[in-house]
Amino acid sequence: MRKVWDIHGGIHPQQNKSQSNQHAIVSAGIPDQLIFPLSQHIGAPAAPIVEVGQRVLKGQTLAAAKGFVSVPVHASTSGEVIAIEQRVIPHPSGMTAPCIIVKPDGRDEWITLSGIGDFTTVEKSVLLKRIGDSGIAGMGGAGFPSAVKLSTRDDHNIETLIINGTECEPYITADDLLMRERADEIIEGSKILRHLINPAKEVLIGVEDNKPEAIAALQQAAEGSGIDIVPFPTKYPSGGEKQLIEILTGKEVPCGGLPADVGIVCQNIGTTVAIYRAVKFGEPLISRITTVTGYACKEQRNFEVLLGSPVSFLLDQCGFSQEDCTRLIMGGPMMGFTLENSDVPVVKTTNCLLAPTREEFPPPPPAQACIRCGMCAEACPVSLLPQQLYWFARGKEYEKLEAHNLMDCIECGACSFSCPSNIPLVQYYRASKADIRQQKQDNIKSDQSKLRFEARQQRLEREAIEKEAKRKARREKAHAASNDGSGKVDAVQAAIERARAKKEGQLSDPAQAAIEKAMARRSGTEATAPRDKASLEQAVASAEKRLASASEKLASAEQEGADTAAAFRVAVDKMTAKLEQAKTALTGFVEAPVTNTDSDPAQAAIARAMANRQTQENLSEGDKLEQTIASLEKRLLKARDKLTTAEAAGDDNASIMADAVTKLEGKLADANNQRANKA
């Protein structure tokens, strides 16, 4: 006999397995409707690849895996996709999730299957892909994708492969009947797993000693295979992965660690059979063995049920009485959860449907105050302190809960079972775990928001630096363009210099120009006086506005200590002088007499326009070109001044002004080239 170890704690509840293990496994048949949740496992939900109205075959992929930790979903019979919608799924909260609804056509037509004859000649990656594409996930626990679990890293030296045939929870006999009737498939599946894992030491199948028929069948099938069948004493919850590892090997998986960290990989009995059928025959996971038990059912037995079958359909096969049932449970009495709706589907992890009567499951007595007896700590298989966790959970002291390793709790219910005060300890732990996970998600979102904000700030700073670098480059380019390297003055720069020289002999400021025009018209007729006066008033208002703007910029620059303060100070002085000129002109205009009221202002404007037009027509092509060049030079000078002011003030429109200067420089250069060619 192989040596086995004991685990800390554990309990011995009434087994209640004889009600359902007296009959052979039978097929549940095809229901009228199949419901396939897109998430039947830990990890990312699958993504639909079929459409409403499409006919599908048995074994056809309905939804593809989305991500590394994900598995696809397959049709368990042929039929038509009639909906892709939200439906209630098997979950303690009664939540809804996206599901694919298929109406069977009764033909049960398979897709074309192709198996692997000799798996020992196939690469490990090919076998893992076959397992992943077949939609196989753990069928005895949380439903972790099997291909991911079997993809062990090279730095993990795996010594032992364990096949879990414990099935320690009361009432459930699905694995028991599977081991009795399909022991050969279990052994062949174990050989495939041994080939994939390549354990350095051994392959073990652990079975509790309350299943003598299953043990005998496995021993007979494993003869000469090098696979050891290891019976051990019955105790709940010896079927937990970490507990089974300790029982069979004496090793303890560290807190927060994985079995691979101690050189061990575990797989469930049902998962092992599914892997065998996927490799040998190419069959995806479309059915499983499920126990239907409880005295609210007239016939209690194990069914091979198509995934997606409604729970109500399966209960109808057993003569279920709703009146006699106190509550419907998916899973066992210790770790299962209550179903509020019997129309939810059977999924890959559904190993039992329990329909107890009031005599079996009487209403729990009200919880009493904790008497600090310590029986919960004695029963805990993970060596936690359930009493202390209970107080922390009630006080919502999440940091202390984590410090006391709440996340190591396997929610087996042994503490609640042993509590003389009938305190539902596991419910407190589940709620606290959910709160901690939500808190961590909120913290992650907060950290992501902070990172996005900091990234935005860095981007804005980078853009500001890049803008400043572009401005500096443009200034340096303009300075370098003043000489072409051979001592000859650049044509564009020469034009700018000519325009500046021309500016010294005439007024280019709009306000000053208006003043000069108004004073020139003073010697005209009285009819022009209202218009000239309005122009002078507009000039005064414009000068006041520009002076106020320049003064504001000067104050800001001096406060910040900017290098442009001197330039703004000169601009303020100039604008002050221009304002005084405008006011003087307006005052002089009001005091001066005007005559000749017979002149018509509109007629005078028409006459001036016709004269200008006649002058343009009399100009030669050369004179027109010279006039165009002079206009471009004036516009370019004004644009360069605006650009310099905008860059000094850090105006965001500086880049637009720079583009305008570049275009004017190009036009002026073309005009100068045209003049040079004509010369």
Nearby residues of 78 by Cβ (< 8 Å), 6 or more positions away: 55, 56, 57, 58, 104, 105, 107, 108, 109, 110
CB atoms within 10 A of CB 492: 19
Nearby residues of 209 by Cβ (< 8 Å), 6 or more positions away: 215, 231, 232, 233, 234
Write out residues in the chain with pLDDT < 50, as ranges. Answer: 485-489, 506-508, 523-531, 591-599
The pLDDT value recorded for residue 666 is 84
- For residues 528 and 534, give the distance between their C-alpha atoms in angstroms, rounded to a whole number: 10
| Under 8 Å between Cβ of 266 and 239 | no
Average pLDDT for the chain: 86
pLDDT tens for 592-637 read 444 444 445 556 666 776 766 666 666 677 777 788 888 888 888 8
The pLDDT value recorded for residue 503 is 56
In terms of DSSP bridges, do strands 337-339 and 264-268 run parallel, antiparallel, or are they unpaired? unpaired
Instruction: Name the CA dihedral angle for 350, 353, 354, 355, rounded to a multiple of 10 degrees.
Output: 150
pLDDT tens for 425-456 read 999 999 999 899 889 989 999 999 999 999 99
pLDDT tens for 135-174 read 999 887 778 899 988 987 666 789 999 999 999 999 999 9
Q: Which residues pair with 288 in a beta bridge?
A: 305
Options 2.60.40.10, 3.40.50.12280, 3.40.50.11540, 3.40.309.10; CATH for 117-282 is 3.40.50.11540
- For residues 134 and 128, give the distance between their C-alpha atoms in angstroms, rounded to a whole number: 10
- For residues 435 and 395, give the distance between their C-alpha atoms in angstroms, rounded to a whole number: 12
The pLDDT value recorded for residue 508 is 47
pTM of the model: 0.68
Q: CA 427 → CA 140, 386, 394, 422, distances in Å?
A: 21, 12, 11, 12
CB contact burial 185-221 (16+ within 10 A = b; e otherwise): bbbbbbbbbbebbebeebbbbbbbeebeebbebbbeb
| Under 8 Å between Cβ of 139 and 270 | yes
Where along the chain do its domains lie?
117-282, 378-480, 491-678
The pLDDT value recorded for residue 670 is 83
Given strand 79-88, what is the order of strands in its sheet? 34-37, 96-104, 79-88, 55-56
Omega within 30 of 0 (cis) for the link into 13:
no
- For residues 421 and 14, give the distance between their C-alpha atoms in angstroms, rounded to a whole number: 20
- For residues 454 and 449, give the distance between their C-alpha atoms in angstroms, rounded to a whole number: 9
Beta strands in 139-284 (DSSP E): 160-164, 202-208, 228-232, 264-268
The pLDDT value recorded for residue 516 is 61
- For residues 413 and 363, give the distance between their C-alpha atoms in angstroms, rounded to a whole number: 17
